[in-house]
Amino acid sequence: MVSSNWATTALVALLSVSSAGVHAAPQKYRPDPDQIKEKRQILQTINTDRAPGTRVPVTFLTIGTVGTIGPTFTRVPTVNTNTLLTFGTLPGTRIPTLNTGIYTPPTSAVYTPPTTPVYTPPTTPPGYGYTPPGTTTTSSSRSSTTTTSSTRTSTTPTYTPITGANTTCYNRLKIDVLQRTDPDQFNMLLLAWQKVQTSPDSDPFSHYQLSGIHGAPYIPWQMGPGSYDYSRGYCTHGSALFTTWHRPYLLALEQALFHAAMSIANQFTPAAVRTQYLNAAGRVRLPYWDWSDPVTQSYLPPITMQQTVTVTRPDGSGNPVSASISNPLFAYNFLGTSSVAPFPAPWNAAPRLSTRRYPDGSWNDRSYLASNSMQSGFSSRVTATYNAFLATTYNLFSNRVEGVHDSVHGAVGGGGQMGYVAYSAFDPIFWLHHCNVDRLMAMFQATQPGLFVTPAAAVGTFARPVPPNTIDDSSTDLFPFRRADGSWYKSVHLNPVSTIWGMRYGYPEVPCSYQTRTPAELDTFTTNQVNTLYGNGRTIPGTSREWNVRLLIDQAEIPGGYDIYVYGGTRPQDPYADPYGKGYIGSLSSMSMGAVDQYKQSRIRFVDVPLNSYLKDYGYAGADPYKITEYIRRDLTYTIIANGKPCYFQDLYTARYAVYSRDVYSDGKEDTLPYYTSDPYYHTNVTEGYPGGIKYVDEILYPIKVDGSREVPWAEVNSTRIQT
């Protein structure tokens, strides 16, 4: 059992603290506007053994030179990484356990990368001569009072706008809290989701069609014929629109669940009990799974792991009658073989007629493995979640949250639907997971009301195939979701955060009850919540240093899906069989598009994996930079799995990792967030000479893409510009 004393240790600072509020707060970091130009890195020593209030002794060190920019890039020397790299042990330092096994991968199963690093782009997606969809008549099978058609021109398909529930604003609740505190609403949610899951595939608001918007089976949803890209779904990943696109998407399911609950309750008799059930139905909102929660930690919510669940309905005389049904939060069962027929093999046949997590050879569910996998990443996930709130631009926040979100998909899927962009939304836990992403987005909006989506290189989707050099911005249409007036949702419609209350939902941290309060009051409240939930001691006054590993790759380099894992101190005996085992700190998860041979658009993806909790666990928290870097160099290991097979840094052209530290200042108050006081400092002496490890800072700041060109990762643009 993983420690239940996490909450106790939660108040201990992750890293040491200095200048306990005696002199003025340090200046916010003001960056060099040219992020690419040569940088001199300056690392200031944080002295950990001083009495509070004494001055910080300063040591300036200058390291690192800048490599050549451009396609003349040379590969790093090749080292055999099949063996764990071992360095001299520092006298008197604690040696973490394990590091015993030298893993020799089965040679036959090794992933064979393309023989040449010269990139062959995927065949040109259709639609470069793009015509906006939705311009011709189509029949929608949804007959509903909310369908607007009479006021639209005859060339517009009938559609149902995405408006969510129609009762007053209610908070979406954490799934465990919902179950415990509002069993009537929970009961209606279960009945409603069962109904939505068993609605015919032809119903646009069935679980089948709503889930299908995200990826397969690649059919237009409430849109007429158009220039669609049938190789991908409507969803946006790796883009500045990741968080905003998923907001109306979640709202669409919430709307379906809400109306299903209302119509179920409406049929109950006698009238005396109907009102009670209707009231509960009126409160039905999507619940969320907080995978960084200090109490429930990263375990899967128990309710999502049980195959059946008990629901209650009134009999004809109004007495509650309980029945056991197959649990709609555990799995979605496709209605028949024709439902999966449009999918490519192996997704188009039995046994894949149900969603599963870590399915065994017979497609039996093993959700407990998903839960274990999630839990091993818990402490660094909390830090990564908190760090998302320290982002200095919205795009960087979005990228940080997406990185955590990606690794959750990977850890929950284990070969089941959740690991695949094309199929993940069919698993009901997808919606609880994304509801949490939406909640974090709302919390960021509340604490950073001045920041929002800024323009970034576009990512193509089903209804928006993009020619090169297209830009996504806050006015990009979020197909296929329409607002009440028939216009397409755009990110701008989702800002400021108070717009969620207009969609009749809130969160405990952005509560409906704050509709009458000022944005400043909400900011204070939400910031407190962020610190309480995820702060883990990081609001102790003073400056602390954060350590991270940055994993980076051009996602187009490997077709299909792949993950890069980081292990600290120890690692699983066979990381290829048990990648989330003991020692797992974090990972870059690419998510498969759906097929092992499917390329993604060329685009730099990166994640920052926080190391502080691991440094603390191994007693290095207060150590000097030499010891910490030595520890990181010696005891961090990396594993790459591509489409289920081992893959190595030395065979990849664009994959890199780097270790950096960054100073953060906190004024010690619970209603403010800490802020960065330094640039990231890349410790190239830790990574140089290792396959994939950077030698030059430019390899991270200005990374190489599959075609040999270089670019600043989109999420980093302006990211060091700090708002004042």
**Site for ligand NAG, rule CB under 6 A:** 43, 61, 63, 166, 259, 262, 454-455, 625-626, 629-630, 633, 683, 685, 717-718
In the bound state with ligand NAG, the residue whose beta carbon lies nearer, of 563 and 679, is 679
Q: Which is nearer to ligand NAG, 14 or 240 (CB)?
A: 240
Residue with tokens 């908190």: 386
The pairing of beta strand 320-326 with beta strand 308-314: antiparallel
CB of 230 to ligand NAG, least distance (A): 31
Give the residue with the Cβ less far from ligand NAG, 49 or 597.
49
Nearer residue to ligand NAG within complex by CB, 310 or 723: 723
Taking the complex as a whole, how short is the minimal distance between the CB of residue 149 and ligand NAG, in angstroms? 17
Are the beta carbons of 90 and 627 closer than 8 angstroms?
Answer: yes
Distance between CA atoms of residues 661 and 624, nearest Å: 12
- 157 closest CA partner among 398, 433, 415, 488: 488
Q: CA 348, CA 339: separation in Å to the nearest integer?
A: 8
Considering only CA atoms, which of 562, 539, 537, 608 is closest in space to residue 380? 608
Q: Least distance (Å) from ligand NAG to the CB of residue 685?
A: 4
Shortest reach from residue 62's CB to ligand NAG, in Å: 8
- Least separation in angstroms between CB 89 and ligand NAG: 13
Q: Residue 568 or residue 646: which is nearer to ligand NAG going by CB?
A: 568
SS3 484: coil
Q: How far is the CB of 160 from ligand NAG (least distance, A)?
A: 12
Whose Cβ is closer to ligand NAG: residue 474's or residue 639's? Answer: 474
In contact, 708 and 58? CB cutoff 8 Å = no
User: What secondary structure does DSSP assign to 387-407, as a single string?
Assistant: HHHT-SSHHHHHHHHHHHHHH
Contacts with 583 (C-beta within 8 Å, 6 or more apart), sequence order = 98, 376, 567, 568, 569, 570, 571, 572
CB of 457 to ligand NAG, least distance (A): 10
User: In the complex, what is the shortest distance from the CB of residue 636 to ligand NAG, in angstroms, rounded to a whole number?
Assistant: 13
Closest approach, Cβ 169 to ligand NAG, in A, equals 14
363 phi/psi in degrees, rounded to 5: 65, 30
The Cα–Cα gap between 520 and 321 comes to 48
Residue 549 CB, nearest approach to ligand NAG (Å)? 15
Measured from the CB atom, the residue of 147 and 643 that comes closer to ligand NAG is: 147
Nearer to ligand NAG, 625 or 646 (CB): 625
Which lies closer to ligand NAG via its Cβ, residue 39 or residue 352?
39
We find the least distance from the C-beta atom of residue 656 to ligand NAG, in angstroms, to be 18
Q: What are phi and psi of 201, to 5 degrees?
A: -55, -20
H or E element at residue 640: strand 636-642
The closest alpha carbon to 541, from 12, 23, 18, 15, belongs to: 18
308-317 long-range CB contacts below 8 Å, 24 or more apart? Answer: 309/190, 311/187, 311/190, 311/191, 311/194, 312/187, 313/191, 313/268, 314/268, 314/269, 314/270, 314/273, 314/274, 314/277, 316/269, 316/270, 317/270
User: Which of 349, 498, 347 shows the shortest CA–CA distance to 419?
Assistant: 347
The SS3 assignment for 415 reads coil
* Nearest CB to ligand NAG, comparing residues 643 and 718: 718
3-state secondary structure of 182: coil
- What is the number of alpha carbons within 13 Å of residue 388 lying toward its C-beta? 28
Question: Nearest Cα to 85, choosing from 699, 688, 620?
Answer: 688
Q: How far is the CB of 72 from ligand NAG (least distance, A)?
A: 27
In this complex, which beta carbon is closest to ligand NAG, that of residue 262 or of residue 530? 262
285 versus 633: smaller Cβ distance to ligand NAG: 633
Backbone region of residue 258 per phi and psi (left: phi > 0; alpha: psi in -120 to 50; beta: other values): alpha
**CB neighbour class for 124 (10 Å; exposed up to 12, middle 13-18, buried from 19):** exposed
Name the strand (E) or helix (H) holding 211.
Answer: helix 207-214
- Closest distance of CB 96 from ligand NAG, Å: 17
CB of 34 to ligand NAG, least distance (A): 12
Cβ closest to ligand NAG, residue 109 vs residue 484: 484
Pick 221 or 258: Cβ nearer ligand NAG: 258
Tokens of 489: 């949702």
Instruction: Give the dihedral sign, CA 322/324/326/327.
Output: positive
